[in-house]
Amino acid sequence: QSSQAELMLETLTAVYEKEILHAIIDLNIEFSSLVMHVQLGLEEKIKNDSDMLQTFTTWLETHMHWNDKLTSISLDEIFRTIDLFYDFIDCSLIVEMSDIFLQDFKFGVKELSIVSELKTYKIRADELQLSAQVEDLHESLPIIYQGHIPDTSNMRMISIKLHNQWESSKMNGLSLLIHNLLPVGHQQSIMKYITICITSEYVNLEYFVHGYTTDSLIDYTRKKLQFMHLIGIFSLYINDHPVFQEDENMNFTFELALVNAVTAGNNEAVELLLQLGCIDDTNKEGETALMLACKRGHEDTVHSLLSAGANVDIEDNKGWTALMIANEHNHISIIHMLLQANANPHLKTSDRSNAVMIASYHGNYEIVELLISKRVDYNCQREDGANAFMLACKSGHTQIVKFLLKEQVDPNVQMKDGANAFMLACQNGHIQIVKLLLKKKVNPNVQRNDGMNALMLACKNGHTKIVELLLKEQVDPNVQRNDGTFITALTLARHDEIVQLLLKSKAVKKGNLKEDDAASVYSFESHRTVSSGRHTVSDNSSSRTFPSTLTLDSGIEELTDKK
């Protein structure tokens, strides 16, 4: 059954390819007939109006940006001159010409309007350009132009080797590629002057160009080296002069090329690859081109990707969306663009963080306001229990803390380990937020599951002003951890000034130490060392050594008992 299905697929593919081939050939025949009628129509107009030829040549020179190129020549000579600039696919010149000069011209037994017929034809040509592939041109162009060998003696040949994925790209992609490699305003027909050779390893193009010197083409294309690398060219010659050459990338795909183009910030390559239909593929981290553009703040690229229909809500391997990434990097204008493109602001990462949490952590006040106005849940907690308010307190973003308090956020919510916003502010030294929360009557004595409290965390991290503030608030300095270590704020203090503050507040494990006992404790804290798995405790007059398995408080007790 499998082999039968494969055989049927091969048969259908062959039939489709044959239909496309015939469609291309038939289209060219039809176009040749229409061009003949255009020329006949113009001849009739010129015969009836002596000024018509001059009017027509003036329009052409203006349209093509030529200076007196068509002065004093016949209609036949004009058509030989413009033959370079149109073909059965790129037929805009003929369509526009007819629309201006042949509005009332009809031809054939059925009295067909040449303007209507050409406009209908162009629609079909555009559709074919978006459906037929480069490999179809490889077969059809030699048939179409056999016996019509153009004069290329005064032309320059561009020879290009492309990764073989180009074989299945659409015809319009080929046209876009050529136009991107040549100076702006290049108007020459592509189909009449290109040869396509497809091998199992690469696609080879030879294109003859009119109107440029070899040196000018070399100079221009050398400015496009990164562009060539990104879009899948691995060799380019002008006549016999090498401009670009590198080893073929066997892993090249258009989708990854788009990601790489965004990473490189090459908007020209991005635009081309988007027009080839590459948009939502991801790299190994699960990032799309849109995510990378958001990360780097490339507004033009983001606009191009959104215009091309990029999916705004794809998630990377960690559950992050483009909106979250732009949020993290504070690219406000991009965030507005994403929201206008209907990005979902309510999505969450794999650890259950949402956009408000990310904005709060990174201090993006304007974004926090915007997201909350869109009813994003600011009370949402991620897997570890943290919420937007806690993250703002942790990072020291006072303006966001005030805003969330006005929004009636609960400042007493705790994480799974028992930590709350107040502890996080104390731990990270954000005294303005600490004062603000104390005014809100937050309980400064709350302990985590392991017994740690705000004072311990401030002592451990050396935040002297916060320690002083908490002691004034009558926070008990003798609270111990409850994980079997019996660690207190004094044990954790790493700064002399904090130790002195704690000693003045009678911070000891059991209380009742005299002043000289307190000095011994301070000496222990200031001079303890760890060597060979043992604590050495010195009080300047004697020293004792304790196994490292004993707690530091145990060392303090033995030293105190000795005295």
DSSP letters of 16-85?
HHHHHHHHHHHHHHHHHHHHHHHHHHHHHHHHH-TTHHHHHHHHHHHHHT-SSTTTT--HHHHHHHHGGG
For the chain, where do the domains classified as CATH 3.30.70 start and end?
A: 140-245
Q: 411-507 belongs to which homologous superfamily?
A: Ankyrin repeat-containing domain (1.25.40.20)
Q: CA–CA separation, 58 vs 75, rounded Å? A: 13
Q: Under 8 Å CB-to-CB from 272, ≥6 apart: which residues?
A: 173, 176, 177, 180, 231
Q: CA–CA separation, 419 vs 394, rounded Å? A: 11
Measured between alpha carbons, how far is residue 161 from residues 198, 234, 277 in Å? 10, 6, 21
Helix (H, G, I), strand (E, B) or coil at 388: helix
Q: CA–CA separation, 470 vs 506, rounded Å? A: 14
What is the CATH code for 140-245? 3.30.70
For the chain, where do the domains classified as CATH 1.25.40.20 start and end?
A: 411-507
- From the DSSP assignment, how many helices (H) and strands (E) are in the chain? 27, 10
Token pair belonging to 283? 């790299």
Specify whether the backbone of 180 is left (phi greater than 0), alpha (psi in -120 to 50) or beta.
alpha
Q: CA–CA separation, 517 vs 523, rounded Å? A: 10
DSSP letters of 443-503?
-TT-B-TTS-BHHHHHHHTT-HHHHHHHHHTT--TT---SSSS---HHHH--SHHHHHHHH
Q: Under 8 Å CB-to-CB from 278, ≥6 apart: which residues?
A: 254, 255, 257, 258
Cβ burial 347-381 (10 Å sphere, 16+ → b, else e): bbbeeebbbbbbbbbbbbbebbebbbeeebbbebb
For residues 554 and 539, the answer to whether their CB atoms sit within 8 Å is no
Q: What is the pLDDT along the chain (563 residues), one digit of tens a residue?
A: 556 555 554 555 555 567 888 888 899 999 999 999 999 999 999 999 989 999 999 999 999 888 777 777 899 999 999 999 999 999 999 999 999 999 999 999 999 999 999 999 999 999 988 888 888 888 888 888 776 667 788 899 999 999 998 998 888 899 999 999 998 878 899 999 999 999 988 999 999 999 899 999 999 999 999 999 999 999 999 999 999 999 988 888 888 899 889 889 898 999 999 888 878 888 889 999 999 999 999 999 899 899 989 999 999 999 999 999 999 999 999 999 999 999 999 999 999 999 999 999 999 999 999 999 999 999 999 999 999 999 999 999 999 999 999 999 999 999 999 999 999 999 999 999 999 999 999 999 999 999 999 999 999 999 999 999 999 999 999 999 988 888 999 999 988 999 999 998 876 544 334 444 444 444 444 444 333 333 433 333 333 333 333 334 433 333 333 33
